[in-house]
């Protein structure tokens, strides 16, 4: 779980993800949902990413990067007018985790979101937060 913001318009947000590490491989699968909102403009990207993981489960730090897709929901509310859209989404991530306890720690990551629509812009976001490791290793 973490918090961050989209850099361009300083739109704050929060999110959660689940990362499933494939045993004895440098690969993981991440599912995520994020929520960013500012002044009636909201974005909710939801999706899945395939990650390359750079360390073993026993080390204190882990770097990761990857990409994937999903859906992006956006809503703009001004006065009493509401406009919403849902589109396909491309996403990429580059991050690092650092253990602070045997099954917990902190993370920082840079994330890219791009809706699959003709007038879309690429949103870059930064996130920091904590993680809890459940299950093996």
Interval 19-31 mean pLDDT: 92
- Sorting pLDDT into bands at 50, 70 and 90, what band is 56? low
Q: Where are the domains of the chain?
A: 2-132
- Sorting pLDDT into bands at 50, 70 and 90, what band is 120? confident
* Contact call for residues 6 and 123 (beta carbons, < 8 A): yes
Q: What values do phi and psi take at 116, rounded to 5?
A: -90, 75
pTM of the model: 0.87
The contacts of residue 127 (CB under 8 Å, 6+ apart) are 2, 3, 4, 15, 34, 107, 108, 109, 111
Please determine, for residue 137, whether its predicted confidence score (pLDDT) is greater than 70: no
Q: Are strands 2-6 and 27-38 parallel, antiparallel or unpaired?
A: unpaired
Check: CATH 2.40.160.20 for 2-132? yes
Return d(Cα 118, Cα 121) in angstroms, integer. 9
105's tokens: 């720690």
Q: Which residues partner with 13 through β-bridges?
A: 4, 36
Task: Give the pLDDT of residue 103.
Answer: 87
Return d(Cα 14, Cα 106) in angstroms, integer. 15
User: In this structure, how many other beta carbons lie within 10 angstroms of the beta carbon of residue 8?
Assistant: 11
């Amino acid at each position: 779980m973490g918090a961050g913001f989209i850099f361009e318009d300083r739109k704050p947000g929060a999110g959660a993800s689940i990362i499933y590490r494939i045993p004895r491989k440098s690969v993981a699968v991440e599912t995520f949902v994020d929520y960013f909102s500012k002044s009636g403009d909201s974005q909710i990207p939801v999706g899945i990413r395939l990650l390359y993981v750079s360390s073993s489960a026993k080390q204190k730090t882990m770097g990761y990067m990857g990409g994937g897709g999903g859906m992006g929901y956006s809503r703009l509310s001004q006065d009493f007018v509401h406009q919403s859209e849902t589109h396909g989404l491309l996403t990429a991530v580059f991050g690092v985790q650092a253990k602070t306890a045997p099954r917990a720690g902190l993370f920082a990551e840079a994330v890219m979101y791009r809706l699959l629509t003709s007038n879309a812009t690429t949103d870059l976001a930064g996130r920091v937060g904590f993680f809890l490791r459940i299950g093996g290793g």
